[in-house]
């Protein structure tokens, strides 16, 4: 079984918590960390921007990515939300088993 971490950033702690609640309740992720605030510096529509954001870090199975991305986009307020996945190449076997069990529906 392949596992991933999925990341998104959003402009308020409350919005980040809405994402966390939705994806965990739907069992699309076993857990979601909400961390922040962070400061993001980026280009948007030809202009250098800076914003305070909160990051959601979700642990899940790779096969759930498409459905998880769709759920994030339903809630997210940005025109082009960051939704990135990175593979988990190794981990505590019992923790990975927990992710697998908690994302079964």
Residues 68 and 22: their CA atoms lie apart, in Å, by: 10
37 cis-preceded (ω within 30 degrees of 0):
yes
Name the percent of the chain lying above pLDDT 70: 100
Stretch 20-49: mean pLDDT: 98
pLDDT recorded at residue 34 = 98
- Tokens 């918590």 belong to 17
pTM over 0.85: yes
Residues 31 and 23: their CA atoms lie apart, in Å, by: 8
pLDDT recorded at residue 105 = 81
As given in the structure block, the two tokens for residue 27 are 């069992």
E-state strands within the chain? 3-10, 31-44, 47-61, 84-87
Residue 26: name the closest of 103, 84, 85 by CA.
103
């Amino acid at each position: 079984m392949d596992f991933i971490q999925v990341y998104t950033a959003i402009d308020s702690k409350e919005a980040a918590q809405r994402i966390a609640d939705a994806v965990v309740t739907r069992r699309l992720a076993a857990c979601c960390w909400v961390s922040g605030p962070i400061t993001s510096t980026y280009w948007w529509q030809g202009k250098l921007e800076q914003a305070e954001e909160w990051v959601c870090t979700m642990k899940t199975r790779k096969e759930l990515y498409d459905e998880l991305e769709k759920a994030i986009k339903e809630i997210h307020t940005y025109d082009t939300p960051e939704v990135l996945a990175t593979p988990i190449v190794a981990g505590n076997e019992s923790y990975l088993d927990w992710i697998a069990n908690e994302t079964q529906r």
